[in-house]
Amino acid sequence: MTETANQPVAEEPAAAPAEEPVAEKPTAEEPVEEPVVEQPAAAEPAEEPVAEEPVEEPAIEQPAAEEPAAEEPAAAEPAEEPAGEAGDKAAPEPGAGIGTPIPSVATTGGLNSGDIVSGVVTAVERREVELDLGSGRRGVIGSRHWTAGLDVDLTGEVQVGDPVEAAVLVREDHKQRIVLSRSWGRQQRAWELAENARKTGEIVSGTVTDAVAAGLTVDIGIRAFVPASMAGDDDLEALVGTEVECKVTEVNQLKGRCILSRKAALRTRDRQAARKRLSELTPGMKLRARVTKVEDFGALVMAEGNLRGRIRRSELSWFRVRRPGDVVAVGDEVEAVVLHTAPAKMNLDLSLRIGDDPLKAIRPGERHEATVVSLAPFGAFVTVGDGIKGLVPTAELAEVPIRHPREVVVPGDSVLAEVTKVDRQRRDLEFSVNLAVLVRPADQE
């Protein structure tokens, strides 16, 4: 057998020797005879000598093992076809499996993506909540769509019978329910509220989540920002975690931009409180006030309760005032009486005329001891009683003609003066020294 085995290798291939290996194939003992049978393909005999070793025979069987692997796609295809039937088996994770994107814009309920719907909770599980949307429609909210950025245990978040508002997601559900997102619905609603607040000037509330040098980050259902220049005078770091009131100054949903102003909200609250206090004031009430500014028309004051008011020049004194600065100065603390209030216009008129009009007690012909306080070319100003001011004309200062009052009196002199004129409306009071020195018949008696 050894010689015959060597001869086919050395000699040219013949038909007779080629048939013998064919007969001997069932005995797979001679691996060398197999390449002789496959002479027409010279490449295959060349490769099979590598497989002459008995160790490689199992390797020849590997293609048989690879064939099932090649047939696996065929087996996978039939498995995908009944996916609708086996859908229940593919839902072991309700919260994670909800929300497979589909190209259609309309859902099974005839709703579009982003539509806000309301429903009542009918079932609560750890990973999903089922809702009754009415009209025979059912909705489902997964745990990942309950709160933005969180995957929560829904059994501790909601109970059966609770109303829930959510936005429609364009997703498929293995139970033919409408897939919803509570977090997205809240964001959609928050953008709507922010835009309405910007248009109407309404105040919104939110929680400060972060503070930086540039300003505050506030959660109002959406992420909003308060620049430091609009945050007020408080320490920004101290506001973190607290609830603040702000006004919306800018909204751009496409850019995700929402700008707030806390300072504007504080001013609005102050005005609302001031209006309320003004409505509680009545004419005649007395208030303590501090002069903040002196103008030609009068004085501006800050009354108790942070109420801004004004005192007209005619109300600074019972007597005529030429310059308000002669009566009050900035920083003076005064007691004023309420004249008029207009809460809608934030107006508060005050007066320093407290008590009875002193001119009511003055009658023409009365004589009073007067003190000269100042001089002018047209006469001398005097005071009588409790600061009642009047004028003694130059012609009434002496019996003889004089050119200037300083020829007969100086500030601080006391003279006897007689009342000659009382004009309560114009607040004018005039005296005469000449008449006071005259002896009347009644005086002789």
Each residue of 141-160: pLDDT tens digit? 988 888 877 778 888 888 99
Each residue of 278-331: pLDDT tens digit? 999 999 999 999 999 999 999 999 998 889 999 999 899 887 788 999 889 999
Tokens matching residue 115? 């539509």
Instruction: Give yes or no for a contact between 336 and 311, defined as CB atoms under 8 angstroms apart.
Output: yes
Work out the number of other CB atoms within 10 angstroms of the CB of residue 161. Answer: 8
Rounded to the nearest 5°, which phi and psi values hold at 196? -65, -40
Each residue of 176-202: pLDDT tens digit? 888 998 888 888 888 999 999 999 999
Rounded to the nearest 5°, which phi and psi values hold at 267? -65, -40
Q: How far is it, in rounded angstroms, from Cα 121 to Cα 166?
A: 12
Across 255-281, average pLDDT:
92
What is the reported pLDDT for 59? Answer: 41
Burial letters for 3-34: b for 16+ Cβ neighbours within 10 Å, e otherwise?
A: eeeeebeeeeeeeeeeeebeeeeeeeeeeebb
Amino acid at 347: N
Each residue of 373-394: pLDDT tens digit? 999 999 999 988 777 888 999 9
Burial letters for 327-349: b for 16+ Cβ neighbours within 10 Å, e otherwise?
A: bbeeeeebebbbbebebeeeebb
Closest alpha carbon to 343 in 279, 268, 272: 279
- Cα→Cα distances 44→19, 31, 306, Å: 18, 13, 105
Each residue of 393-444: pLDDT tens digit? 998 988 888 889 998 999 998 888 989 988 887 778 899 988 877 655 555 4
Question: Could you tell me the pTM of the whole model?
Answer: 0.54
Q: How far is it, in rounded angstroms, from Cα 278 to Cα 270?
A: 12
Q: Can you give the length of the chain in residues?
A: 445
- Cα→Cα distances 342→158, 307, 345, Å: 50, 12, 5
Helix (H) or strand (E) holding 172: strand 171-172
Domains of the chain (ranges; CATH) run: 115-185 (2.40.50.140), 201-267 (2.40.50.140), 281-351 (2.40.50.140), 361-432 (2.40.50.140)
